[in-house]
Structure formats: C-alpha cells, structure tokens
Chain A
Amino acid sequence: MPQTWVSSFSQHPSIQGLRQTLAASVKQPIWWAIPGEAPKSLDYSAACRTCHFVRRSSENRQICQRTFLQALEHSARTKAPHQFLCPIQRYAVCLPAVRNGKVEGALAICHSEQAFSKTDLELARVVVETSLEERERSLELKNLSDAIQPRCVALSTIHTIHRLISSTLDLEELLPRIARLCCQVLRAQACVIWLADRPKRLLVPRAVVSLEKGKDLRIGPCRIGVGVIGEAASSWQGRLKERMMVVPLVEEECLGVILVRRNREAQPFGTLDQEILSTLAEQAVVAIRNAQMYDAQERITWGTIRSLSAILDGMEGHSRRSASRQQLLANVALAIAQRMDLPPSQQRPLQYAALLHDAGRVGIPDEILRKPSKLEPDEFAKVKEHPIQGARFLEPLEVLEPAIPIVLYHHERYDGTGYPKGLKKEAIPLGARILAVANAFEAMISERPYRQAMTTAKAAREIAFHSGTQFDPKVVHAFLRLGAKRLEELALLAAGRPKKNGERGGS
C-alpha cells in the first residue's frame, strides 16, 4: 500500500492517464517525483536514459543537479510552480507537493523543447494533487484496516469458539475444551473451571488445564461466598488482577466460575482481556447449560429404561435375568462397542437394547421359559418369536428407535442360521452382532438349573470357538481383547460394586 505521494504518483492508474496526456503535449518529458522538502541530491538513473547531456559525464550531472536543486528550493519556498531553463536550454518546471501547508516533495518535468503552457502547468498540478489525494486515501484505508482487522479476527475467533463448544454436549469433553480455548485466546498458562454444587454450597473443580510443564495444578473445591473464587460465585462479579482473572458463569443462577492465570514472564492482564473472558464465559454458560440439560435428559431416559427393565423382570418372575445380570450384559456390550471405537450415538442404543432385548419373552408362557428339559419344536417356535414381540413393545418409545433393530436381530447368527430372519454377516446390524456375543458370554458365566456357571476364561474360549459361525469375528476379536481381568471387573461392577458419581453402569 503506497505511503508516500511518490509511490501513488508512480503506481496509481488514474495518474498514469494524466501523465500520458501531459507527455503528448511536452514530448519526451523526463519525470522527477522527489520526496521530502529539501533533497540534497537527485537520482539520475532514469534521466540518463533520455538526456544525452547528463548521460555524458558526472560533471554534467553535477551542473544539472545544481540548477535543479536551486529550482526545487525556490518552488518549495514560494509553494508555487517554478519554470526554468536547464543547462542545455531545455525547459523544466518544479511543482511543490503541498499538503496542509507542508511541502512533502516536488514533481519536476524537464527536457521540454518548448515552454510549459498554462494548460500543461494545470495538468501537472492535477497530477501532484491526485497523487497526494491517493496517498491520503491509501493511508486512511491502511489506518482503517489496522484498526478493524484485529477486531474482525477477534470476532471470527469468538465465532469459531462458539461453533467448537456449542456442538459438544458431553460435559466431560466440553469443560476441558472451554479451559483449553480460554488459555489459547487469552495466552494464559492455566485455566480452571469450577461448577456449582448448590445443595452443598460448593464449587467443584471440573476442568484444570496447565500449560506449564511439570507444574500440575492441585485444585480443590471452594465454598461459595468464601475466597476469591467463592465470592465471584456469590457476588456474580469477576476479579481482574495482573496475573489472574476470575469470571463467574452466570445465567439465571451462577453455574460456576472460570479462572485464568498467566505466569510472571507474560504481560499482565488488562480490561480488554477481562472483556474477552466475559464473552467466552457467556458462550460457555449456554454450552454448559445445554450439556447439563442433555445429561439430565439422558438420565431420565436411562432411568425410564431401567424401570421398564425392572417391570419386565417382575412380570417374568425368576425366569428372567436378575438386574445385575442385565447390567453385566449391558456392561460387556458397551465395553466391546468402545473397544471397536463405536461413536457414543451407537453406544447408547446398544445399552438400551441390552437392558430390553428380552422384553418379548413376556409373551411366552412360563412353563416354556422354566422348562428344564429340551423344548419341543412348537415350544421353540414360540421362543423364536420373542425378538419380534420385543421390537413391537419398544416401538411406541421414540427414544428407543435405534435400539429396535438390535433387539430384533440379536438372535441372528453370523452364518445365517439364526432367527427371526436368518440374516447373514454384515446384513445383521452391528449392535445386534455385539449383543449376541455379550448375551452368550453372560449366559455362559451364569448358573442355570441344568448346569453350573462357566469361568470367564472358559466362556471366552467358547466364544472364540464359535467365531465366524455364530459370531462376527471382528466382534469376537474386540471381545477377546478386553482380557480376562477386564471381564472379571465388569462382572464385579454388575454385581453391585458402588458406582462412581455420574457412572451409568457402563464403562
């Protein structure tokens, strides 16, 4: 972007047009765009191409320069055009470039065989004026761009952050993400996010990010109303210190507090930083609230399905798996799904299906379900209907829609000899193939009236033996990679080991 009038003079297209018009009248002019009020010397590289006198010797150039500098000095002093004859008696003119009363340089034209007419001088004046105006315009544009661009980048950053955090509904993923982004945007070395536990009047640290190597922050809970963090939560007021900023996460109530910290080598925080953190906090509040609502919704759904499972359990009496066995089945299915890197959107329906896959057995007479001996063909035909019945029972619940194919096809076999449709290989939904393995494993390690429970190791060997016939080899591979220790852990977890906060009995 041109910053002196000389660069505008040599670059701007409209000035090129004016110069061409003037050149037609003057014939072979030599142009001089001279910056500064009082130049000490002139650059003759362009003039030497046209003027034989200055080309001939440095002495000639000295003679020419003396004449020229005197003329420049004259025009700068009078702030008016000054026409003169050069050493070889050609006509030349100097026009000062004046802006706001200040001489910023001069335009000179020489090597003319005739004196410059009034029209020529007027045209030359327009060239100078236009060059100065263009320079002004360029400077204004640059100043405007310098002022606006950082704000545009900041706005664009806020927009990107909004997109990053608003598409995250898992709090465990969301909070560290917000903390990382706060560190990035504020060039901070650490960020901590506390969320409020209102009944206990506590702020519990939920995300801690420290970029200082070897400095793991040990952050504990804070009491609401006590200390810098607690006061921010009770007063809804942020705090700005040189190396630390605290901003409450406020909606209709205080959801928590964000703290960011810079180390001693970094610049101190300023009010603009506080403004940025407040903007981030406003976005974070919406994202956290959405994630919390989504989590609450998930818990309601999960609770409803567990209740439904328990009701079915009661309706079937002892013939159905106990709640802990259902839980084991769900845990194993989920562990396999996670081992296979299935996205959460496929894991949840699998968990639901694991709890409700035998819902259709409600319609099978008790004497068939409890029969200790081999079933007659007509009895087995009734049993084979339970996946279809189960799928029908689940249809009215919209949230269970993705779980229905899993329930419907969990008795299909990989080689196509299963029921109800005799589907083969990948035609069987992946969730159903996973549930088939988990179901068989759970059944084998459970005691039955007609046989003892197998060990987890033996059950695993049995599943491996049926890989490729009854079960999908990829699912079996993932199942076996869980290992005996993990399978034992899952069994213990299902048997009633106290669950951690927030755990849904899955992983």
Chain B
Amino acid sequence: MQRSFSLTEVERRILQFFREHPQAVETVRGIATWVGCEAEAIEKALNGLVGRRWIATDETRMVRGYALTQDQRILAQIQETMG
C-alpha cells in the first residue's frame, strides 16, 4: 500500500514547478525565483522532497542541481498527492 503525504505550500509549489517543467535542473536560488519563495524555505522543503526521493539531486563541490525524479512509481505517487 502506498503511503500518502501531506504537502506544505512550498513543497506543493516546488512540485508544481517541476511538473510544469519536468526537464528542468535547477539550483535552490533558481527554484526560489520560479516559485516565488525565500531560498531558505525552498532549501528546507527540497530536503524533505529529496528525502522522499521525489526530487533527485546532482552535486559537485561548487553546485547542487535539483530535478524531478524519473521513477515512474514515484511520479504516480506525486500525481496522486498533487491531484
């Protein structure tokens, strides 16, 4: 059985952005610009979403990029949660 999650407003906005732009690879600052939230709130929400593996990351010592997962099972879960 799939676990259901309740989302914060910032998490919802982030997921909405990535669902509209599934090909995007963005930094915290970039996402903050697109969704109109403070970078600090974005980073906190992203940590939660990365922990759930809804958002994937790629990082070097200089930069960390975030992107929507490509796992079909998780994408279905996101779809169900977001409605």
Point out residues on A near B: beta carbons under 8 Å. 150, 153-154, 156-157, 160-161, 163-164, 167-168, 177, 180-181, 183-187, 189, 211, 276
Is the C-beta of B58 less than 8 angstroms from some C-beta in chain A? yes
User: Is the CB–CB distance between B70 and A187 below 8 Å?
Assistant: yes
Residue in B closest to A186 when the chains form the complex, CB atoms:
B23
Q: Which of A150, A167, A180 contacts B63 (CB 8 A)?
A: A167
Is the C-beta of B48 less than 8 angstroms from some C-beta in chain A? no
In the complex, A484→B68 CA distance in Å? 44
Measured CB to CB, the closest approach of chain A to B80, in angstroms, equals 19
User: Is the CB–CB distance between A153 and B24 below 8 Å?
Assistant: yes
* New A-B contacts (11) at CB < 8 Å, excluding given A157-B26, A167-B61, A183-B70: A153-B34, A154-B24, A156-B26, A156-B30, A157-B24, A157-B25, A160-B25, A161-B25, A163-B65, A164-B59, A185-B23
Measured CB to CB, the closest approach of chain A to B25, in angstroms, equals 5
Measured CB to CB, the closest approach of chain B to A29, in angstroms, equals 37
A-B contact count (CB 8 A): 60
B interface: dominant SS: loop
Report chain B residues within 8 Å CB of A180.
58
User: Is the CB–CB distance between A161 and B23 below 8 Å?
Assistant: no
Is the C-beta of B53 less than 8 angstroms from some C-beta in chain A? no
Report chain B residues within 8 Å CB of A156.
24, 26, 30
Measured CB to CB, the closest approach of chain A to B55, in angstroms, equals 11
Is the C-beta of B67 less than 8 angstroms from some C-beta in chain A? yes
Q: Which of B21, B27, B70 contacts A153 (CB 8 A)?
A: B21
With A160-B30, A211-B70 in contact, is A185–B62 under 8 Å at CB?
no
In the complex, A177→B64 CA distance in Å? 12
User: Is the CB–CB distance between B62 and A163 below 8 Å?
Assistant: yes
Q: Which of A161, A168, A187, A276 contacts B22 (CB 8 A)?
A: A187
User: Is the CB–CB distance between A150 and B21 below 8 Å?
Assistant: yes
Is the C-beta of B4 less than 8 angstroms from some C-beta in chain A? no
User: Is the CB–CB distance between A167 and B58 below 8 Å?
Assistant: no
Contact mask for chain B residues 16-59; partner A; CB cutoff 8 A; 1 contact, 0 none: 00000111111100100010000000000000000000001011
User: Is the CB–CB distance between A167 and B60 below 8 Å?
Assistant: yes
In the complex, A156→B67 CA distance in Å? 12
Report chain B residues within 8 Å CB of A184.
23, 25, 56, 58, 67, 70
Report chain B residues within 8 Å CB of A157.
23-26
Residue in A closest to B60 when the chains form the complex, CB atoms:
A167
